[in-house]
Structure formats: C-alpha cells, structure tokens
Structure 1
C-alpha cells in the first residue's frame, strides 16, 4: 500500500513539475477604431479549456485605447505592431503541462449592456510558449448609443409640446469610446443617424438626427397626438459596416 501511495505521489509531482506558466495577451479592438480599455470599463475576458469548459483565466482589459496615429493612420507592414506598452489588454497567465485547446470568450463593452457583443475564438496553447506583443485581438463591431431625450417612460403633457418641435437627442461613440465629430477621424458626415417613431405599436415616420457637438446628435419633429410612443434610434456607417441601436418608450398625454 505504501508503495502505491509513493508511486502516486511521484506521478503527481511529475505532473506538477512539468506544468509551465504560459502567458497570452488578449485585446478587444473596436472595428474601424481603437482598443477597449479602462476609460470605458474594459471588455470582460474568459479563457476556458474547450474540452471540459474549465475556466483557466478571467478578467477585464485595462489600459489606454492606444495610439491613434499608429492604429488609424500609419500604413501597416506585415509583422508591425499596432500596440504599445500602454495599450489596453488582459494578460492571462495559465499553468498547463501539455498542449491545450482553449476558447477565448469576450463580452464588450462591459458597462454598456445595450451595445454589448459576445465575441469568441479558439486556439492551441503550448506549455511555456507565450503569445505576447499585440497578442490575440478580437474585433468588436458597432456603436454605443444612449438616447438622452426623451427619457425612458417619460410622461409628457401634450399642451407643453403641441405646435412646437419635439426634440430627440442621443450620445453616440465608437465601441472603444472614441469620439465622433465633423471631419474627424470618425467623421459624423459619414454616419447615418435616424430615429424610427411608432405610436401605439404602429409605425409613424423616420426622423433624421444631425451632429450638434462632439458625439451629440439631435433631431426634432411635431408630436400633436397623445399616445404611447416608441423611438428606435440607429446609427449606420456604410464603409465599416458598423451599426448601433438604442430604444426608448415615452408617453404623451392630454
């Protein structure tokens, strides 16, 4: 019996000794934009063993959105890095004793649920063979949209708006939080922003919103009939395929 215990202990010790720390840098990058980091609350990363779904590492990306010129303006040669030491990422450190097939799951942006996307990829990790530098970059498409006016379930007296333009307003940013402005790197002139209006569940019309200041879009329409209203507001960029949506319900009453 003692001999069996001794052999088992040796085998366990062998496995423990042979396990090697393996590091992998994981980053979340907004499509046609920069990296998702601390300023936006980060992207949530989960690394799993694909076979048994065991979580091997978990955390959020932290750091800066990166160098705008390097990411967006400089021509990229093969092997050239688009990150620096400050660029946001999550460094996973995993102990494995044999090649392991992993799944990387990402939810981003973590703190903006209406814009969240789940992205994943799979790859082999080899013991002691680190994946650093730019690492594994997962791309997140879309826009983050927050409708500011009207407010959710706002009750609006008809006599305060009848015969006057009713204002719709939304804040829109890239998935990394990067700013949208007229003539900027992310040019508002190239982004279509419209609101789809319904009253009591039936389509009424579309309203166009235009940039009035950095990230802030505004439009207006006449609301002369009481009812339960729904505004579905979207942004669309044809060149990149980025889209985003937010919705709000409000009530106009007599």
Structure 2
C-alpha cells in the first residue's frame, strides 16, 4: 500500500507542477504572406529535443493576412505584421520545467512536389506563453503545377507535327498569393522557363509568359517520337525564391 501511495504522490506532484504553456506558430511564405486555410495549411510539429516526444502537432488555419500590413507598411522593432485572422497554429503543451524543443513546419501540406520543411529550436518556460506574432518560420519557393501536357500523356506524332506544342503551368507564391503582371508579385520580375528533354537529352528551352493570373504558357515543336520530360521552373533573382515541377509524357 505504501508503494502505491508513493506512486500516486509522484504523479500528483508532476501534474501539480506542470503548467499549460501556449505557443503561437506561423508559417510565412518568403517575400509573401502567411500559409492558412485557403492553401490547406502548414503542418506543425513541436518535439521535446531530449527524447523526440511530440508535445503538440496540427495545421495552421486562418487567413493569409493583410497585404498592406505585411508587404507595404514600414517596419520597426515593435511593429506587428499579423491581425486577429492571420493563419496560425496555437500549440498547447504541459511542462513542469524549462524544456528545449524543436518546431518543424511542413508547407504547403497539400502540395507535396513543392513542400519544404523548415525548423527552429527554442526553450519553453512553464506558463510563459509566446503569443502575438509568435514564432514565424519562413517558407521559401514557388508552387508550380504543370497543366499541359498531362503526366504520362500519350500523344500521336501525327496530331502535333508541324504545329505549336503548348506547355502550360500554374505558378503561385508559397502562400497561394497570386502572380500577375504589375501586381504585388509581378510576373515580369520572375524568370519562368520550361526545359524539354527527349530520351534523357535536352532538346529545347522555352520562355513561359503570363497569359492570365498565375497561368504561364509557352510553345515548342515536336518532330520525333520518344520519351519526353518537361521541367518547369520559376526563379526570382531578387529574393532567390525558386520552384520546380516535372512531368513525363510519350510521343508515339
């Protein structure tokens, strides 16, 4: 009986000293806004660094934030770049002593070909919440989806010989923010190209141009059957943001 009382007392002591500690965690696209519900969220994992135990996990939700506040307003030491609706994950952990944790963010969660993992490490102090702007992790890149041709599409040479062969891709910032001519994210400032390989060898490079919001197109010509690969990339020389998508198709 004495043994059980000691165990119960130990458990009681652990829970009595443990304090609920809240941490606001946000994922922000590099040179853009926050990742929230409209893009399916960013996945967040908070781990104890000593034993790798997961203390909290979940997805960010909310809006991408206020464009003027994030992208245009002057910044100073105490300025905030979020409002009440801005996307976040509120992690709640129970700890009884200062705990060194890692915070991992996987984003965009629903676009695996563009997904990046970004992490940081921080001490959490029992009962000392980290709220407001919270901990912001920056996600670099672009999300690119090749729309034409389709993955592993079989195309008869007779149907395309002597005609422009269209390549089409949708390109957005990592928060889903739109790319447009003359917009906040100006298509004219990005380099967008398609690299075409046939049977493992480069056969052409095509500049892609914006035809409508987020939609880029270019044309090439195909004169021989084979196994083809298209690599579409976007590059921002000012920020270093990059993004890539690849597909394969067959011409017979």
TM-score after normalising by structure 2: 0.98
Shift in Å, 1:207 = 0.7
1:246 aligns to what?
245
2:192 aligns to what?
193
2:221 aligns to what?
222
Q: Is 2:28 aligned against 1:13?
A: no
CA distance in 1, matches of 2:62, 2:244: 27
Deviations, residues 178-214 of structure 1 (Å, cap 9, x unaligned) = 0000000000000100011110111112111000000
1:106 aligns to what?
105
Deviations, residues 66-112 of structure 1 (Å, cap 9, x unaligned) = 00000000011101110011000000010101000001111100000
1:62 aligns to what?
61
Q: Is 2:19 aligned against 1:40?
A: no
Q: Is 2:230 aligned against 1:236?
A: no
Deviations, residues 139-173 of structure 1 (Å, cap 9, x unaligned) = 00000000000000111111111111110000000
Q: Tell me, which stretches of 5 or more residues in structure 2 are unaligned? A: none
2:183 aligns to what?
184
Q: In structure 1, the residue corresponding to 2:121 is in which secondary structure?
A: strand
Number of positions where the alignment pairs a residue of Structure 1 with one of Structure 2: 252
Q: In structure 2, the residue corresponding to 1:64 is in which secondary structure?
A: coil
Shift in Å, 1:4 = 4.1
CA distance in 1, matches of 2:28, 2:105: 11
Q: In structure 1, the residue corresponding to 2:219 is in which secondary structure?
A: strand
CA distance in 1, matches of 2:224, 2:52: 55
2:87 aligns to what?
88
CA distance in 2, matches of 1:59, 1:8: 33
TM-score after normalising by structure 1: 0.97
CA distance in 2, matches of 1:63, 1:178: 14
CA distance in 2, matches of 1:134, 1:211: 34
2:174 aligns to what?
175
**187-196 or 155-164, larger mean C-alpha shift:** 155-164
CA distance in 1, matches of 2:7, 2:220: 77
Q: Tell me, which stretches of 5 or more residues in structure 1 are unaligned? A: none
Alpha-carbon RMSD across the aligned residues, in angstroms, is: 0.9
